[in-house]
Amino acid sequence: MAEITASAVKELREKTGAGMIDCKNALVEANGDEAAAIEILRKKGMATAGKKAGRVTAEGVVGSYIHMGGKVGVIVEINCESDFVARGDEFQQLVKDVAMHIAASDPRFVNRDEVPTAELEKERDILREQLKNDPKNANKPDDVLDKIIEGRLNKFFEESVLLDQPFVKDPSKTVGELVTEKIASIKENITIRRFTRYKMGEGIEKKQDDFAAEVASMVG
């Protein structure tokens, strides 16, 4: 496999407007061939989506989803550039799909930037201790352990960050990739701003009945 350099990723990003990670993944998939990587990005709708990323999204929709007979509910705000797009079927469907995904997958953050630094450091410390307690990794140098830890943090992001989660209706893509596809299709910038997920009874301490003691008292 060809070595994927930082300069190659940077150059592809400048040519396509796609994100750094998307560019790197495309180059890996294309074995370093820039032309093939551009084609991969175009097929995924990422080559044009990146160029729209800086545009202001002041319109949009607050959507909702209720599941399991009222046991789980979600409110999500997704923004776009124009009211015309916000009222369109494709954008409305995206809002419904994202709200349903949140209900099913229970993310904690919209994107990686929302994860508190203290929580990430705590996760890194836990992973480091796990590695040091593993005989296969205990004697590896710190720089190698750091790379392993960063790799394993991706699992944490997949579980906790909405844009990193596999989309519940099509796990071959992430929610972030779904949004990127819609940006390319709708031709406006789209951002998921915030969400709240409610679960019936969450946080309420339920009374635990002691059935055996109740029967015993009745007999006595």
Q: How far is CA 14 from the centre of its chain?
A: 24
Q: How many CA atoms lie within 13 A of 183 on its CB side?
A: 30
Q: Contact at 8 Å (CB) between 100 and 168? A: yes
Backbone angles phi, psi at 23, to 5 degrees: -65, -45
Are 47 and 66 within one domain? no
Number of domains within the chain = 2
pLDDT at 178: 93
Q: Tally Cβ neighbours within 10 Å of residue 128.
A: 16
**How does pLDDT run across 59-118, given as a tens digit for each residue?**
999 999 998 788 999 999 999 999 999 999 999 999 999 999 999 999 999 999 999 999
Amino acid at 100: M
Domain housing 24: 6-52
Lowest mean pLDDT among 127-141, 143-157, 160-174: 127-141
What sign results for the dihedral spanned by CA atoms 135, 138, 140, 143? positive
Instruction: Give the SS3 label for residue 3.
Output: coil
Nearest of 2, 18, 15 to residue 180 by alpha carbon: 18
Q: Specify the CATH number for the domain of residue 118.
A: 3.30.479.20
Are 125 and 195 within one domain? yes
Beta-carbon contacts of residue 7 (< 8 Å; ≥ 6 apart) = none
Q: Specify the CATH number for the domain of residue 38.
A: 1.10.8.10
- For residues 218 and 19, which has the higher predicted lDDT (pLDDT)? 19
**How does pLDDT run across 135-154, given as a tens digit for each residue?**
887 778 778 888 888 888 88
User: Over 90: is that where the pLDDT of 204 sits?
Assistant: no
Q: Contact at 8 Å (CB) between 38 and 72? A: no
User: Over 60: is that where the pLDDT of 195 sits?
Assistant: yes
Are 103 and 12 within one domain? no
Per the prediction, the chain carries an average pLDDT of: 85
pLDDT at 134: 82
Structure tokens at 125: 């410390």
Are 156 and 186 within one domain? yes
d(CA 83, CA 88): 9
Q: Contact at 8 Å (CB) between 11 and 35? A: no
Report if residue 220 sits inside a domain.
no
Secondary structure element (H or E) that encloses residue 198, with its range = strand 191-199
Report if residue 12 sits inside a domain.
yes
Are 24 and 48 within one domain? yes
Beta-carbon contacts of residue 144 (< 8 Å; ≥ 6 apart) = none
> 194 has which bridge partners?
77
pLDDT band at 17 (very low <50, low <70, confident <90, very high): low
- Spell out the long-range contacts of 36-43 with Cβ–Cβ below 8 A and sequence spacing 24 or more: 37/12, 38/12, 41/12, 41/16, 42/16
User: Over 70: is that where the pLDDT of 124 sits?
Assistant: yes
Are 121 and 33 within one domain? no
Are 48 and 112 within one domain? no
